[in-house]
Structure 1
Amino acid sequence: MNLTYNFLVSQKNGSKLHFNGYKVVNSDVVFNPLNLWKATTTLYCTITEVDEQDQSIPSKVRGKGVIHIRPTAFLQECTTMEATGSSLYAKVTSTANFLGYFTAKAAGAFLTPFIPQMWPSLPFHSYQNPTPWSKEFTVEANDRVKTKLYMWEPQGNRGQTDDAPILLFIPGAAVDHQIFALPTIEHNAVNYFREEGYRVYSMVHRVGKTVVAQQNWTTYDARRDIHAALKEIRKRHSIIDKLDGSGPNKTTYVVAHCAGSIALASGLLDGTIPRQWLSGVTASQVFMNPKFAKVNNIKARLPISMANIYNLIQGKWFDCTSTPRDGYLQQAINQVLRFYPVGHRNEICNSVVCHRSSLVFGLLWSHKGLNEATHSQLENFVGGTSMTSLNHLMYQGTHEYVTDSQNENLVTPQNIARLKGLPIFFFSGTQNEVYAPDNTDTSFTTLTEANGGICYERQVFKDRGHLDAWMSPSAHKDVYPRVLHHIRKVENNRYEVLKKAIGQS
């Protein structure tokens, strides 16, 4: 929240200047009087010339700086303040309105957990960057579960050519393709890679933001949906395996996030997803060694599972959205979550969806990585989870390896050998509160020791949380280019050249 000041300043010679100033009052001030004082007495200002209509001319700046108001100056300001108005009543009203507005805004920031909560609103369509898909497909897995697959045609020089390289984006649990095609930021991932000439696909698997997720599936089950999506892509682009057994005539690069990455790892490890179908992989935040971050680890290791208690009392489905019309239990949860541990003070907010998603998954983003348009409409981008799926995620996150639906370990030497030769780029965010950042290092090290280190890369992005690696307005400056760099290396056969140079097959 910013407190802004805009007014005209009269100079001694009669000319006027425009004064623009703002104070940044954010969640750093929650229950912190010192930070509140600093925020409300620090004014970032710009003074510009004005035109004949007394409107500011942004290009003609007279001065720019930061004003820090000391206590003595503040007292002097209060004692010398004069209100405008034609009568005493008008002057008192003017003063009361100003002080009341200022006090209300400051108090609201200081007491954020107690202010009215931000509830899901009606569907919003006036997005900054709507990214409609070019085609929509329904794909059927081998167990007859149907899910959605979306495709966007390439842009840039390649236009709609049939030979455009193919990317498949796989979202995590309780989210869908919108985390990659986010309409509330100027540069989303789908458009970024389309402009680079790629034909982009994104699927919504059975534990994503879909009604199918209410049917008690796990991330291990979702591997079937990934297989079905890849099979559909191969069919539509006439991708066939070569007669000499060296692989298909064309492959797909896969970018998998969170539970989608776990599902991909599960399918590759158990052989459901043929390694030869993929040219390379970006594993976003986690892969085959999920390890919960601190708060998630504490919750998952409680003697009595919260998921089991919820399942017994309320049912098998937890929705991350809620309304004031929900039942007493849901309202009680919403009120308790006002004070849910979210880490640093600047992660405190009053969004019901943000609170509820943090309870089941952990804090899904670093708040400074989301813009207001995204944070105020989270109900459009986050769904819910079944207790079966949540329990499965909790088991994997505390045991630090991916499992099948019966919790049998899939990370075995025989299964790891199936991944040999597949280039994988692992990345984590330093502020990830869902999975500890070092979980990708475990996968990187395990695969390197088993299969050699030529095909594996890893990076940790500073100040990135979990989902804001894809949903941040600034992700196109660091995350997207790094993923593109890995894709280009795969396309240019850099890994094949290196393997031949050291004698690896």
Structure 2
Amino acid sequence: MVYDLRLERAQGRGELQLRGHKRLHQTAQSSSWTDLTTLYVEVRERADGPLLAQGIATLTLDDLLKQLTTLKMEAVTPLARQVQDHLPGLMDTIHLLYLEQFAGFFGMTVFQAYGGLLSCLNDFPGKALPQWAGRALKAPAPEQHRVPLDDGFSIRLTRYRGTKGPVILAPGFSIRASSFATDTVDENLVEALCREGYDVWLLDYRGSIDSGSPLQPYTISDIARHDWPAAVRHVLDQTGRPDLQVIAHCVGSMTLLMALLDGMPGVRSVIASQLTLHPITNWLNDLKSELGVSRLLQERPEFDGHVDFVPGDSDFDRQLDAVLWGVPVPEGEACKNPVCRRLFAIMGPSYRHDQLNHATHTALSRMVGPVSLRPFDQLSLIMQKGHVVDPLGHERYLTPERARHLALPIHFIAGARNQLFLPETSLRTLAWLRGHNDPGLYTRQLFKDYAHMDLFIGKNAATEVYPQLIKVLNRHP
């Protein structure tokens, strides 16, 4: 909660600028009263002037009651002064209306922070999103390429032209590739790569609503068998290059590695983020896999074969959000954004809230969309086995013969605080690959303060993550 006030000095000695903020921790260990009555304050001669004073202001209940009696509205314009002089009753009414507006604004802010389930059901982030003006990207104009696939699905590639070789960016499951170009941070990954001159291609495979694919059943193997080869062929055809580099995240990373195991050509080097060939997840995801939750949801007609991470306004949406409110989340990650609740309950802890700025947290609904429930069947099998298998659970991928197809530079990255797919996930794949191919081909980097998706959309990713990714890409020009 932020305060930005102009203070008028006594005896006409000019104005001061007061800026303050309250930290609404909203955790089980914090006190809402303490949060709301503790203000961290700075006072300056003007907005950009020298600091005159700073401190912490606190209120007792007596202080608060006394403060409420001091609120008054001054008549500062000629018209307002005439109304005050000639129609004092009307001025009193106007005064009360402004006090009600202030009380309503303050009360709604408190309700959004501490309203619990009712706040979540109101979806305040979703209502605030249309007010976000955004900004122009520091990148070439995007070019859209829709590529139909031979099984009735399609992919979409978005190109930001550059003079260096092509790089495909592939997101996680249900995530729009445009999240790599989010305008809610000072610099996104697309802008960072374009600044380096790379020819950037965002891939929306069938797990993204922006792919143009129908919400029909498919498998994780279908992404590896159809989507990835079509994407790589199209980029190489359009650029005239013999090969390309890839940064792939989560399911995008795992399916890329599966496609390469199948012998897909054209990839020179890979940065594989978080999810690899040997996933290790949290206890809740393991439980959901053992219980067959994805199959149970597919049998429910309300879901119509898919799940949406952006809430609608139907009774079923509200019922679903009310149920998911009770799903446990890691300490410090509870919030009132229903998109977060859905992502954390269905997928798992997808980011650390501390790593997201307010604009990104509000805009999460622009980054996700509905997905078919059928792919979760194969994901459940993979979780139970501890490594990639085909849709029937057969050992199709991890053979010594296929391991030779991954004899190329692969750099694994993981968030040290990832509780969706634990960092050991990439360690196991690293060990498996080094046991079959030249160990020098494979490297790994851990980012200590990051979890999962925040590695790409975090508020400090531009300085803490992107330079490391660019350094790896530059090794294989």
The answer to whether structure 1 residue 307 and structure 2 residue 294 are counterparts is yes
Q: Which moved more, 1:77-86 or 1:290-299?
A: 77-86
C-alpha displacement of 1:468: 1.6
1:372-395 per-position Cα deviation (integer Å, ceiling 9, x unaligned): 333323332211221211121222
The one-letter amino acid of 2:274's match is: Q
Distance in 2, Cα, partners of 1:470 & 1:4? 30
Select which of 138, 142, 152 maps to 1:134. Answer: 142
Which one of the candidate residues 437, 441, 450 is aligned to 2:427?
441
Find the counterpart in structure 2 of residue 238 from structure 1: 240
Q: Which residue of 2 aligns with 1:179?
A: 179
1:81-480 matches, cutoff 5 A = 82-85=69-72, 102=106, 105-106=109-110, 108-115=112-119, 116-118=121-123, 120=126, 126-130=133-137, 133-141=141-149, 143=151, 145-154=153-162, 161=163, 164-209=164-209, 210-212=211-213, 214-223=215-224, 224-239=226-241, 250-271=242-263, 273-274=264-265, 277-302=266-291, 305-314=292-301, 315-324=304-313, 326=314, 328-345=315-332, 347-409=333-395, 410-420=397-407, 422-480=408-466
Q: Which runs of 5+ in 2 are unaligned?
A: 74-87
Aligned-partner Cα distance in 1 for 2:416–2:283: 13
Give me the whole-angstrom Cα distance separating, in 1, the residues matched to 2:308 and 2:118. Answer: 23
Partner-residue secondary structure (3-state), 1:29: coil
Structure 1 residues 139 and 85: alpha-carbon distance in aligned structure 2, compared to 1, 3 A threshold: closer
C-alpha distance in 1 between matches for 2:67 and 2:183: 48
The answer (yes or no) to whether the contact 1:149–1:202 under 8 Å persists in 2 is yes
2:70 aligned with 1:60, yes or no? no
Assess, with a 3 A threshold, how the Cα gap between structure 1 residues 101 and 235 changes in structure 2: closer, same or farther: closer
CA separation in 1, counterparts of 2:133 and 2:473?
A: 33
- Aligned 8 A contact 2:343 2:349 in 1: yes
Against the structure 1 CA distance between its residues 335 and 416, is the aligned structure 2 distance closer, same or farther, given a 3 Å change threshold?
A: same
> Quick one: which amino acid aligns to residue 137 of structure 1?
H
**Superposition deviation, residue 101 in structure 1:** 5.7
Q: 1:104 to 1:148 in 2, by over 3 A?
A: closer
- Deviation, structure 1 residue 78: 4.7
CA RMSD of aligned residues (A): 3.0
SS of 1:454's equivalent?
helix
Partner of 1:495: none
Task: Give unpaired runs (5+ residues) of structure 1.
Answer: 50-55, 155-160, 240-249, 492-505
1:214 positional shift: 1.4
User: How far is the alpha carbon of 1:235 from its aligned partner?
Assistant: 1.8
Change (3 A) 1:430 1:295: farther
Q: Tell me which stretches of 4 or more aligned residues in structure 1 moved more than 3 Å.
A: 74-82, 84-108, 119-126, 129-134, 140-145
AA aligned to 2:222 is D
CA distance in 1, matches of 2:419, 2:217: 25
Number of matched pairs: 451
For residues 206 and 98 of structure 1, the distance between their equivalents in structure 2, rounded to whole angstroms, comes to 47
- Mapped to 1, the partners of 2:322 and 2:284 lie a distance apart of 19
The offset of 1:42, in angstroms, is: 2.9
One-letter amino acid matched to 1:308:
R
Segment of structure 1 superposing worse, 79-88 or 430-439: 79-88
Cα displacement string for residues 255-277 of structure 1 (whole angstroms, at most 9, x for unaligned residues): 11111111111111122x12xx2
138 and 107 in structure 1: CA distance in 2 versus 1, 3 angstrom threshold: closer
- Please tell me the residue identity of whatever aligns with 1:10: R
CA contact (8 A) 2:156 2:212 kept: no
CA contact (8 A) 2:278 2:388 kept: yes
Q: Give distance in 2, aligned partners of 1:96 and 1:139.
A: 55
Q: Would the aligned equivalents of 1:280 and 1:424 in 2 still touch at CA under 8 Å? A: yes
Q: Deviation at 1:215? A: 1.9
Distance 1:23 1:40, change over 3 A: farther
Separation of aligned partners in 1, 2:460 and 2:255: 28
CA apart distance, 1:113: 2.6
Partner AA of 1:263 in structure 2? T
Render the CA deviation track for 1:160-202: whole Å, top value 9, x for unaligned. Answer: x4xx221111122112221212233231111110110111112
Q: State the alpha-carbon separation in 1 of the partners of residues 177 and 193 from structure 2.
A: 14
After TM superposition, the score normalised by the length of structure 2 is 0.85
* Cα displacement (A) at 1:123: 6.8
Rate the CA distance shift 1:179–1:107 in 2: closer, same or farther, 3 A: closer
CA-to-aligned-CA distance 1:384-416 (integer Å, 9 cap, x gap): 221211121222123221122322232222222
Q: Once the 2 structures are TM-superposed, how far is the Cα of residue 84 of structure 1 from its aligned partner?
A: 4.8
Cross-structure match for 2:36: 40
- Using the alignment, how far apart are the partners of 1:80 and 1:478 within structure 2? 44
